[in-house]
């Protein structure tokens, strides 16, 4: 017979919550600074397929590599890769390198921050 297997995940400590808040703050500082312009990428916005899939606008998203993300946020590169593997960061596309969408990552980290508090 198999008994019940209960897996409990401990709440993140204050250090983890502070790290997430600090990362969000640094990403906002990056977006408001002058360095953000060179990382801007226009992403097309299309209507839904049932309405013809016509391109209606383009929004500017900021895409950075893992190394650039580590430099911007002051995190260790291993921490950034760990967050990517745990799907805490918004990955825009995967090719020869991992690209992180800064705006979507801020939204994801805010959701995580609410969940942890």
| Structural domains of the chain, count | 1
- Mean pLDDT for 75-97 is 85
Enumerate residues 6+ apart whose C-beta is below 8 A from 64.
39, 72, 99, 100, 102
- Structural domain including 75 reads 31-116
When pLDDT is cut at 50, 70 and 90, the band that residue 75 belongs to is: very high
Would residue 53 count as lying in a domain? yes
Residue 41 belongs to a domain: yes
Residue 51 domain flag:
yes
The residue among 13 and 56 whose pLDDT is bigger is 56
Q: Is 48 contained in some domain?
A: yes
* Residue 105: inside a domain: yes
Residue 66 pLDDT exceeds 70: yes
Distance CA 86, CA 20 (A): 14
Residue 104 lies in a domain: yes
> Could you tell me if residue 58 is inside a domain?
yes
CA distances from 40 to 31, 61, 63, 102, 107 (A): 10, 6, 7, 10, 17
- Is position 11 within any domain? no
pLDDT at 76: 93
- Chain mean pLDDT for the chain: 80
């Amino acid at each position: 017979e198999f008994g019940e297997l209960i897996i409990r995940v401990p709440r993140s400590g204050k250090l983890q919550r502070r790290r997430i808040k600090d990362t969000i703050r640094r990403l906002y500082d990056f977006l408001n600074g002058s360095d953000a312009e060179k990382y801007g990428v226009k992403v097309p916005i299309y209507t839904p397929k049932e309405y013809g899939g016509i391109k209606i606008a383009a929004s500017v998203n900021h895409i950075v590599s893992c190394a650039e993300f580590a430099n911007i946020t002051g995190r260790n590169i291993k921490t950034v890769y760990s967050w990517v593997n745990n799907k805490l960061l918004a990955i825009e596309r995967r090719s020869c390198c991992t690209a992180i969408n800064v705006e979507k990552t801020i939204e994801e980290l805010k959701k995580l921050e609410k969940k942890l508090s």
